[in-house]
Amino acid sequence: MVFSLLELLLIPVFLYFLLKDFPSFRKPFLELFPVRYQGFVDSRLGRVDRVCSGFVRGQLVVSGILAGVSNIIPYVGQLFGATLSLLMILVDFPGWGRVIAVPIFFMVTNFLEGQFLTPKIVGDKVGLSIPQAILALLIGAKLAGIAGMILALPAAGSIKVLFPDFLKLYRQSAFYRCRAYPGHGTSARKSA
């Protein structure tokens, strides 16, 4: 499991360095062919490069859409979006400025969303504090995976709304109000 995860994480790193260093491999590769065929091979390599770059960019666009959809699950969407954005920047690598700017951008927007937008819009509606929301997400993930994480906050909010009513009904029930069993002392009888 750990090695599979490590391999999965190494694929984008390997792909980044392969795409970044492709131009330096191109010339030595072309020199393997006779001079009369080098132009033909070079034009085909250019086409292959465009197709592969288009594929990677297309996959990253689709992944960006997935990041937006995954934002339904609190905290997961931001992490997913930041990771995909960093991968996209590393593929085109415009310089270290953007590589540093992306995590800062995600931290600032996540802070603003978490401190102002989400508590006001979602928090007021669901009625959960941040620790309650995180606990609900962990329980949801453990019970039902991603589906559990999606349903965790509405379910926890519903439980929080309904719990006082259930508690009131329980305290009014005969089970709660019944007298103590014989031999268990008189203090329980006096309080009932």
pLDDT in tens, 132-187: 777 887 888 889 887 787 778 788 888 888 888 888 888 888 888 887 666 655 55
- How sure is the predictor about 19, in pLDDT bands with cuts at 50, 70 and 90? low
pLDDT in tens, 54-64: 666 766 666 66
pLDDT in tens, 89-146: 777 777 788 778 877 887 787 777 666 665 556 555 677 777 777 788 788 888 988 7
> Tell me, what's the pLDDT at 174?
85
What is the pTM for the complete model shown? 0.41
Rounded to 5 degrees, what are φ and ψ at 19? -70, -35
Could you state, in order of their start, the residue ranges of all structural domains in the chain?
Answer: 127-179
End-to-end, the C-alpha distance of the chain in Å comes to 57
